[in-house]
């Protein structure tokens, strides 16, 4: 009888642990990885792939800024306009922000060299 209770208790503990793990994974905030520099390059990726579309929601944006002559700005082009400066011109290193991406056209760019250093994606 004791052995049966131990087995049932262990099975119940495993089931509760698996359910808690599954709920925790679903609630995690996705991370977008941005890079700027060291040359005249800028990118924003999710899971190693270039972003073209995303779903609306909350994301972490982690930017690796490799040049003190560039910066990384994230902007929603459709109204209402939203502009987030993730890194500044004199900064090198990594910065992470949390942002809520709403439906619309978004772009990321270096504000000093926007004509050549930019990218875009759509949230829908």
Predicted pLDDT of residue 22: 45
Domains of the chain: 30-123 (2.60.40.420)
Predicted pLDDT of residue 103: 96
Phi/psi class of residue 93: alpha, beta or left (left: φ > 0; alpha: ψ in -120 to 50)?
left
pLDDT in tens, 3-34: 654 445 444 444 444 444 444 445 699 999 99
Task: List residues bridging with 105 in a β-sheet.
Answer: 122
pLDDT in tens, 31-69: 999 999 999 999 999 999 999 999 999 999 999 999 999
Question: Can you tell me the distance from the alpha carbon of 85 to that of 39, in angstroms, rounded to the nearest whole number?
Answer: 19
Q: What is the percent of the chain where pLDDT is above 90?
A: 77
Average pLDDT over residues 69-78: 96
pLDDT in tens, 84-101: 999 999 999 999 999 999
Predicted pLDDT of residue 72: 98
Helix (H, G, I), strand (E, B) or coil at 29: coil
Whether pTM exceeds 0.85: no
32 and 61 Cβ atoms separated by less than 8 Å: yes
Question: Can you tell me the distance from the alpha carbon of 55 to that of 124, in angstroms, rounded to the nearest whole number?
Answer: 5
């Amino acid at each position: 009888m004791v052995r049966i209770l131990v087995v049932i208790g262990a099975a119940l503990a495993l089931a509760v642990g698996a359910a808690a793990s599954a709920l925790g994974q679903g609630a995690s905030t996705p991370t977008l990885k941005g890079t700027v520099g060291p040359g005249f390059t800028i990118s924003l990726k999710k899971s190693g792939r270039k972003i073209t579309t995303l779903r609306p929601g909350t994301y972490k944006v982690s930017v690796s800024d490799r040049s003190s002559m560039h910066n990384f700005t994230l902007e929603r082009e459709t109204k209402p306009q939203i502009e987030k400066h993730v890194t500044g011109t004199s900064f090198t290193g990594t910065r992470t922000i949390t942002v809520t991406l709403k439906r619309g056209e978004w772009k990321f760019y270096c504000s000093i060299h926007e004509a050549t250093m930019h990218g875009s994606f759509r949230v829908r």
